[in-house]
């Protein structure tokens, strides 16, 4: 009788083999005679211990890495830690340790558990972003950006806690108060460092078409960049002699502008009005999030500034206000209020009793209708009314004509505006990469020379914020010599945003031990771009945008040969429990370590990928974990029995049995699920079906067929349960599964229960999707409509009808 499945023994055995033989390491010196595959998961924050989300991300990545290796690719699959920043510093504060100590303790936990999980990492390339060997080159990149004017300093609004006397990040604000002491926050202007990412707005937008990313991520990036075409119009405050530009996509409504509103963050607010009322309003507004301020049904509030500006087309003096519904994130931080044609402006005008003047109307409306009626939304076919010499013009023509008239008089111009803002990288925190800048009374702002890098983070035991950057307390460190004149100078005491560290780490993995440069360009040519990037959708905007910016800027400096860092992106769904996001406060977290101790890493990895499509959220169920454990136990048992009852010399011959056909069906099914759509859950289900068939046939199938089917099950499950897969395959063949090519299904033995459905749009091929051969017309149409590639091509277009040819194609007629 076969011994009981013992995952602890099996997993320890193979982990030792892989560690001793350094199986997953790949050399940069290896001849590039095979295609490369750079598979990368977003590096984790090492705060605390790994959680179930880490295991899901790396289980997905590991399945992809193994699949590529067995298809003949040279696979780079590295690992590191996003070790600087708030997550690590807050964890240190919570544990009472120094950030370096708590971070390195967390890294040791990650190392131990990732090895216990059997993740096929090239550990020779491992690093943490907090190591001087790494941030030396982060500072080097900063200096290259500084030399090109892409790193600069300017004043910016911050959230200030008067009690703790410190700047707070958004995540440290709760209901407008400091999370630590509960004090109500104030708004302040502080000079800080920025990266000029806005210079790359158009390229960041245009190059989204060159990469294979989920359509919803592309849309999120497009919306964040927020490109709009319109006009920049100048409103002059004669009392102060200052021009205030605004951006508008509707210059045709200028004659309806009856007031002027500025964002609370606007740097001129207190120059216009320094009253306590304005200060109080601005402080209160800046404690709210952008989402709260922009909420559709939020009551409109504001404070008159007691100043006026001149409407450039009417010559009228219109009142100025500060209001929280105007954001610095878009346009110039000021808007013209056109209450007859903008819902938010209308609500504001109603609140403050301001004039509402209609200046566009439907082309077929009664010209005698009141021109001072309440709000009227825009229609597709409009003409101007009550607009001087432009009255009667169609709105599109009037936009161009009014913009040209403004340009002639120096009162405006055609313009493109972006929602994207320059990247604020200064952090008034201790645990981060020091900014390599010094300040000299004689020479001004001076970059640290390359030969003096890295500027190492000093050891500070009391690193809690106290009204200034904690580094300012390290007076011996702050005092330095000016690199230009040799006189007294002061180091910059802010540290860099942790997103800076994670915006280039994927380049360093390619050449992690280079101490002469951040990378060897020839080495990068071997590996970049990343072929498959994997991580959470929560990073779909900032991290991905910043990494794309870095790559483009470095390419412009002739330091890289690529324009995009990540050729293909996969975003995995979240694992919930009892229908809610896991959190310690809710008591619904899952400790991977505890489950590995009970069931083994293979069970946990397989369950996570079997629970549902990996791109979607899924709810954790302990019963499901037990079910996967029983499946793996059955595979082990039947493998052990087959090893005892059959011989390696037993050939796969004779008439094809049902079991042999099922094994080839499983090869075909898993191959397509892995290759075409990351359908790991259905791939695992196919192996389960094969194991069920093996049990049914174990008394009747020819011995050679049994060994082949069991070996096939081990080969196919290896991507998800690598330890058991390796053990089963070795039992059946005496060989190492990861050294074997991916199995190929014999077409002559396949009885397909699926078709490849062709998806067309206006007669042109868009995609191919798997569909049941017996599916109805309605089912085929529904499957075709679910194509991500179709959704990307539609981009707002309307499907008029669907033409379904059963068993062949679905053609969508679109307009």
Mean pLDDT across 498-507: 97
For the stretch 668-703, what's the b/e string if a residue is b when 16 or more beta carbons lie within 10 angstroms of its beta carbon? bbbbbbbeebbbbbebbbbbbebbebbeebbeebbe
Whether 147 is covered by a domain: the verdict is no
Whether 607 is covered by a domain: the verdict is no
**Cβ partners under 8 Å of residue 700, min gap 6:** none
Residue pair 337/349 in contact by the 8 Å Cβ criterion: yes
Sign of the dihedral through C-alpha 465, 466, 469, 470: negative
* pLDDT at residue 169, as a whole number: 60
Q: Which residues pair with 424 in a beta bridge?
A: 194
Give the largest Cα separation in the chain, rounded: 99
Overall number of domains in the chain: 3
Quick one: 720 and 805 in the same domain?
no
Q: Which CATH number fits the domain that encloses residue 715? A: 1.10.730.10
Give the span between the Cα atoms of 571 and 615, in whole angstroms. Answer: 6
Token pair in block for residue 607: 């369950």
* Confidence band for 289, pLDDT divided at 50, 70 and 90: confident
For the stretch 707-746, what's the b/e string if a residue is b when 16 or more beta carbons lie within 10 angstroms of its beta carbon? bbbbbbbbbbbbbbbbbbbbbbbbbbbeeebbeeebbebe
Q: Which CATH number fits the domain that encloses residue 253? A: 3.90.740.10
* Confidence band for 364, pLDDT divided at 50, 70 and 90: confident
Mean pLDDT across 479-493: 96
**Cβ partners under 8 Å of residue 55, min gap 6:** 117, 592, 604, 605, 608
* Confidence band for 584, pLDDT divided at 50, 70 and 90: low
Position 585 pLDDT exceeds 70 = no
**Cβ partners under 8 Å of residue 516, min gap 6:** none
**Peptide bond preceding 454 in cis form (omega within 30 of 0):** yes
SS3 657: coil
Q: Which of 747, 748, 789 is nearest to 765 (CA)?
A: 789
Taking each helix axis from N to C end, the angle separating 601-610 and 52-69, rounded to the nearest 10 degrees, works out to 90
Whether 551 is covered by a domain: the verdict is no
* pLDDT at residue 524, as a whole number: 97
Calculate the dihedral angle through the C-alpha atoms of 394, 395, 400, 403, rounding to the nearest 10 degrees: 130
Give the span between the Cα atoms of 610 and 604, in whole angstroms. Answer: 10
Q: Which of 550, 622, 619, 628 is nearest to 581 (CA)?
A: 619
Q: Which of 56, 34, 62 is nearest to 44 (CA)?
A: 56
Q: Which CATH number fits the domain that encloses residue 810? A: 3.10.20.590
pTM: 0.86
Q: For 524-576, how does the pLDDT look when each residue is reduced to its tens digit (9 = 90+)?
A: 999 999 999 999 988 888 999 999 999 999 999 999 999 999 999 999 999 99
* Confidence band for 164, pLDDT divided at 50, 70 and 90: low
Whether 800 is covered by a domain: the verdict is yes
Q: For 259-271, how does the pLDDT look when each residue is reduced to its tens digit (9 = 90+)?
A: 999 999 998 999 9
Whether 489 is covered by a domain: the verdict is no
Whether 24 is covered by a domain: the verdict is no
**Cβ partners under 8 Å of residue 437, min gap 6:** 146, 193, 445, 446, 447, 448, 491, 492
Quick one: 309 and 402 in the same domain?
yes
Quick one: 682 and 743 in the same domain?
yes
Range of the domain at 781: 752-814
Quick one: 710 and 679 in the same domain?
yes
Q: What is the DSSP letter of 762?
A: T
Token pair in block for residue 675: 């290759």
Q: What is the DSSP string of 466-515?
A: -SS-GGGG-HHHHEEE-TTT-SEEEE---EE-HHHHTTTHHHHTTSTT-S
Q: For 97-125, how does the pLDDT look when each residue is reduced to its tens digit (9 = 90+)?
A: 999 999 999 999 999 999 999 999 999 99
Q: Is 568 left (phi over 0), alpha (psi -120 to 50) or beta?
A: beta
Min mean pLDDT across 135-149, 373-387, 446-460, 604-618 is at 373-387
Calculate the dihedral angle through the C-alpha atoms of 143, 148, 154, 160, rounding to the nearest 10 degrees: -40
Calculate the dihedral angle through the C-alpha atoms of 43, 49, 53, 58, rounding to the nearest 10 degrees: 50
Position 587 pLDDT exceeds 80 = no
Give the span between the Cα atoms of 322 and 339, in whole angstroms. Answer: 16
Quick one: 388 and 248 in the same domain?
yes
**Peptide bond preceding 529 in cis form (omega within 30 of 0):** yes
Quick one: 681 and 777 in the same domain?
no
Residue pair 707/646 in contact by the 8 Å Cβ criterion: yes
Position 370 pLDDT exceeds 50 = no
Position 699 pLDDT exceeds 60 = yes
Of 749, 768, 795, which marks where a domain is finished?
Answer: 749
Mean pLDDT across 327-347: 92
Q: For 34-90, how does the pLDDT look when each residue is reduced to its tens digit (9 = 90+)?
A: 999 999 999 999 988 999 999 999 999 999 999 999 999 999 999 999 999 888 888
Quick one: 311 and 346 in the same domain?
yes
* Confidence band for 375, pLDDT divided at 50, 70 and 90: low
Quick one: 273 and 364 in the same domain?
yes
Token pair in block for residue 376: 């009227």
Of 394, 417, 440, which marks where a domain is finished?
Answer: 417
Q: For 667-683, how does the pLDDT look when each residue is reduced to its tens digit (9 = 90+)?
A: 999 999 998 789 999 99
Q: Which of 324, 287, 322 is nearest to 162 (CA)?
A: 287
Position 171 pLDDT exceeds 60 = no
Return the ∠ at Cα 787 (arms to 785 and 791), rounded to 5°: 80
Q: 94 vs 146, which has greater pLDDT?
A: 146
Token pair in block for residue 233: 């119009």
Quick one: 756 and 744 in the same domain?
no
Considering only CA atoms, give the Rg of the chain: 31
Residue pair 103/498 in contact by the 8 Å Cβ criterion: no
Residue pair 766/790 in contact by the 8 Å Cβ criterion: yes
Over the chain, what is the mean pLDDT?
A: 91
Q: Which residues pair with 339 in a beta bridge?
A: none
Give the span between the Cα atoms of 373 and 377, in whole angstroms. Answer: 12
Position 206 pLDDT exceeds 90 = yes
Calculate the dihedral angle through the C-alpha atoms of 412, 417, 420, 423, rounding to the nearest 10 degrees: -30
Give the span between the Cα atoms of 724 and 720, in whole angstroms. Answer: 9
Quick one: 256 and 405 in the same domain?
yes
At residue 721, φ and ψ (nearest 5 deg) are: -130, 75
Quick one: 744 and 761 in the same domain?
no
Position 369 pLDDT exceeds 80 = no
First CA to last CA across the chain, in angstroms? Answer: 67
Of 417, 449, 467, which marks where a domain is finished?
Answer: 417
Whether 710 is covered by a domain: the verdict is yes
Whether 804 is covered by a domain: the verdict is yes
Sheet with 799-805: strands ordered across: 764-772, 754-761, 809-814, 799-805
Give the span between the Cα atoms of 456 and 468, in whole angstroms. Answer: 19
**How far is C-alpha 549 from the geometric centre of its chain's CA atoms?**
14
Quick one: 678 and 778 in the same domain?
no
């Amino acid at each position: 009788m076969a011994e009981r499945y013992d995952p602890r023994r099996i997993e320890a055995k193979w982990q030792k083999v892989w560690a001793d033989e350094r199986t997953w390491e790949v050399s940069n010196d290896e001849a590039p005679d095979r295609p490369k595959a750079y598979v990368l998961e977003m590096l984790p924050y090492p705060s605390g211990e790994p959680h179930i989300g880490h295991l899901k991300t790396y289980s997905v990545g590991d399945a992809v890495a193994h699949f590529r290796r067995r298809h003949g690719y040279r696979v780079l699959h590295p690992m590191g830690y996003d070790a600087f920043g708030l997550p690590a510093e807050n964890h240190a504060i919570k544990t009472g340790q120094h950030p370096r100590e708590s971070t390195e303790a967390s890294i040791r936990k990650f190392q131990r558990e990732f090895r216990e999980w059997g993740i096929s990492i090239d550990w020779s390339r491992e690093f943490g972003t907090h190591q001087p060997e790494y941030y030396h080159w982060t500072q080097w990149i900063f200096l290259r950006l500084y030399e090109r004017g892409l790193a600069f300093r300017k004043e910016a609004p911050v959230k200030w806690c008067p009690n703790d006397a410190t700047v707070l990040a958004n995540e440290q604000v709760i209901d407008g108060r400091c999370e630590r002491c509960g004090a109500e926050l104030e708004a302040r202007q502080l000079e800080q460092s920025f990266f000029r990412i806005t210079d790359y707005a158009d390229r960041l937008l245009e190059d989204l078409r060159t990469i294979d990313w989920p359509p919803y991520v592309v849309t999120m990036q497009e919306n964040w960049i927020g490109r709009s075409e319109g006009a920049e119009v100048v409103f002059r405050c004669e009392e102060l002699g200052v021009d205030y530009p605004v951006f508008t996509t509707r210059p045709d409504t200028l004659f309806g502008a009856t007031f002027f509103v500025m964002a609370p963050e606007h740097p001129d607010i207190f120059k216009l009005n320094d009253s306590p009322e304005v200060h109080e309003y601005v402080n209160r507004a800046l404690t709210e999030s952008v989402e709260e301020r922009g909420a559709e049904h939020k009551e409109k509030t504001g404070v008159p500034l007691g100043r006026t500006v001149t409407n450039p087309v009417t010559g009228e003096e219109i009142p100025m206000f500060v209001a929280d519904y105007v954001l610095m994130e878009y346009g110039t931080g000021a808007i013209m209020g056109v209450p007859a044609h903008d819902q938010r402006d209308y609500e504001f005008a109603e609140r403050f009793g301001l004039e509402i003047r209609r200046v566009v109307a439907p082309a077929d409306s009664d010209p005698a209708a009141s021109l001072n009626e309440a709000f009227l939304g825009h229609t597709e076919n409009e003409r101007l009314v009550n607009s001087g010499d432009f009255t009667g013009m169609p709105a599109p023509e009037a936009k161009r004509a009014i913009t040209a008239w403004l340009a002639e008089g120096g009162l405006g111009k055609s313009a493109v505006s972006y929602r994207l803002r320059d990247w604020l990288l200064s952090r008034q925190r201790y645990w981060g990469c020091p900014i390599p800048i010094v300040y000299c009374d004689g020479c001004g702002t001076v970059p640290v020379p390359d030969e003096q890098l890295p500027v190492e983070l000093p050891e500070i035991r009391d690193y809690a914020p106290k009204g200034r950057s904690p580094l300012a307390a390290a007076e011996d460190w702050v005092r330095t010599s000016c690199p230009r004149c040799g006189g007294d100078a002061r180091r910059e005491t802010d540290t860099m945003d942790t997103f800076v560290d994670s915006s280039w780490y994927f380049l360093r993995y390619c050449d992690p031990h280079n101490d002469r440069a951040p990378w060897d360009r020839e080495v990068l040519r071997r590996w970049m771009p990343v072929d498959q990037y994997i991580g959470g959708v929560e990073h779909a905007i900032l991290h991905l945008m910043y990494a794309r910016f870095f790559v483009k800027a470095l390419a412009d400096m002739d330091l890289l040969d690529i324009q995009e860092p990540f050729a293909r992106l996969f975003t995995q769904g979240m694992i919930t429990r009892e229908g809610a996001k896991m959190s310690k406060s809710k008591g619904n977290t899952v400790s991977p370590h505890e489950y590995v101790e009970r069931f083994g890493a293979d069970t946990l990895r397989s369950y996570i990928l079997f629970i549902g499509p990996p791109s979607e959220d899924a709810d954790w169920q302990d019963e499901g974990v037990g079910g996967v454990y029983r499946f793996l136990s059955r595979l082990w048992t039947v493998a052990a029995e087959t090893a005892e009852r059959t011989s390696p010399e037993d050939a796969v011959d004779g008439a094809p049995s049902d079991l042999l056909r099922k094994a080839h069906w499983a090869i075909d099914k898993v191959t397509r699920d892995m290759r075409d759509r990351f359908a790991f859950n259905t791939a695992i289900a196919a192996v389960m079906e094969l194991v069920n068939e093996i049990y049914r046939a174990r008394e009747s199938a020819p011995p050679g067929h049994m060994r082949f089917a069991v070996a096939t099950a081990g080969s196919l499950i290896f991507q998800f349960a690598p330890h058991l897969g390796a053990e089963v395959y070795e039992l059946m063949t005496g060989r190492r599964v990861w050294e074997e090519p991916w199995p190929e299904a014999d077409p002559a033995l396949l009885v397909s229960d699926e078709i490849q459905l062709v998806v067309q749009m206006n007669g042109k091929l868009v995609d191919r999707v798997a569909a049941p051969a017996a599916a109805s017309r309605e089912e085929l149409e529904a499957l075709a409509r679910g194509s991500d590639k179709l959704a990307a091509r539609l981009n707002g277009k309307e499907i008029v009808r669907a033409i379904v040819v059963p068993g062949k194609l679905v053609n969508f007629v679109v307009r």
